A = this chain, B = another copy of it.
């Protein structure tokens, strides 16, 4: 029903490669030009300590000019798997490492105009072992929150990062079904 007939690369922007895709659409007499921002996938992690606390990071976000509470995570580097990126980001942003990793879920970054996905991993028995190593412009504060408190916080409007929110909410929906 949607047939891509032409794809044109436009400007290279910070964070993105802009692209215009032209579509023929069934039952629509005019072609439609879609704007797409090409970008790299990201990974984040629900890392749980042996005391059933989830490792969160508080971080200033330039888009909304506010601090958000998020899962540790970041962009997947070239040559890296999604899981390797999650392991690296957990260590860099929090100093925690863990031995037991599994894929949990993925979600689109913003399917309307961005082509990338965020993959979420689950890491049990996370331990504080290293020193944090931040990127330029990045300053995270590590916050450990018990699973009980975090579930309550998901009811509040202060929790505003959509990808951290979806992953954690799914985690709690699963816990509820499985236990």
Give A residues with C-beta under 8 Å from B: 1-2, 4, 11, 13-15, 18, 21, 23, 25, 27-28, 30, 32, 34-37, 60-66, 68, 105-115, 117-118, 136-137, 139, 151, 154-155, 157, 160-163, 165-166, 169-170, 172-174, 176-177
Contact = CB atoms under 8 A, between A and B. Distances in A.
Interface centre among A15, A166, A176 (most CB of B within 10 A): A166
A31 B133 CA distance: 18
A172 B170 CA distance: 11
A106 B154 CA distance: 12
Contact of A111 (B14, B25, B63): B63
A160 B107 contact: yes
A106 B159 CA distance: 9
A78 to B, nearest CB: 20
A173 B169 contact: yes
A129 B137 CA distance: 51
A155 B169 contact: no
B173 A112 contact: no
Given A13-B35, A162-B165, 8 more contacts: A13-B18, A14-B35, A32-B136, A108-B162, A109-B162, A110-B110, A110-B162, A155-B173
